[in-house]
């Protein structure tokens, strides 16, 4: 385990972090008093993927790409479109 001063730690922090990543523990001292230790933390554990885990959490009535009609074109009503003011307007000559 290496010991460095606060000044050395501030000056060479990137190099010290590389050494810590390699598994070395480094103590930082203020004068002759050890005040901190740099150690590598364990990488976060990735959750195990389970296919279909969220399938039961789909809200009722929500669409799924496997539902019949999912790929059918939407109607104007489903898209929230009202009448077209240009096509449905009365003719100016009327």
Averaged in consecutive runs of 10 residues, what is the pLDDT profile of the chain (94 residues)? 95 97 96 96 87 74 70 82 72 66
Residue 81 placed within a domain = no
pLDDT of residue 13: 97
Radius of gyration of the chain (CA): 33
Instruction: Provide the whole-model pTM.
Output: 0.47
Residue 71 placed within a domain = no
Residue 10 placed within a domain = yes
Number of domains in the chain: 1
Residue 25 placed within a domain = yes
pLDDT of residue 64: 66
Residue 88 placed within a domain = no
Quote the CA–CA distance of 60 and 20 in Å, as a whole number.
50
- The parent domain of residue 33 ranges over 2-38
Residue 7 placed within a domain = yes
Residue 6 placed within a domain = yes
* DSSP strands (E only) in the chain: 2-5, 26-30, 33-38
């Amino acid at each position: 385990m290496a010991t460095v001063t606060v000044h050395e730690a501030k000056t060479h922090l990137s190099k010290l972090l590389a050494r810590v990543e390699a598994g070395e523990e480094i103590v930082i001292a203020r004068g002759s008093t050890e005040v901190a230790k740099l150690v590598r933390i364990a990488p976060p554990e990735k959750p195990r993927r389970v296919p279909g885990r969220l399938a039961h959490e789909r809200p009722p009535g929500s669409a799924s790409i496997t539902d019949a009609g999912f790929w059918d074109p939407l109607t104007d009503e489903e898209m929230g479109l009202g009448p077209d003011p240009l096509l449905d307007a009365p003719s100016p000559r009327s």
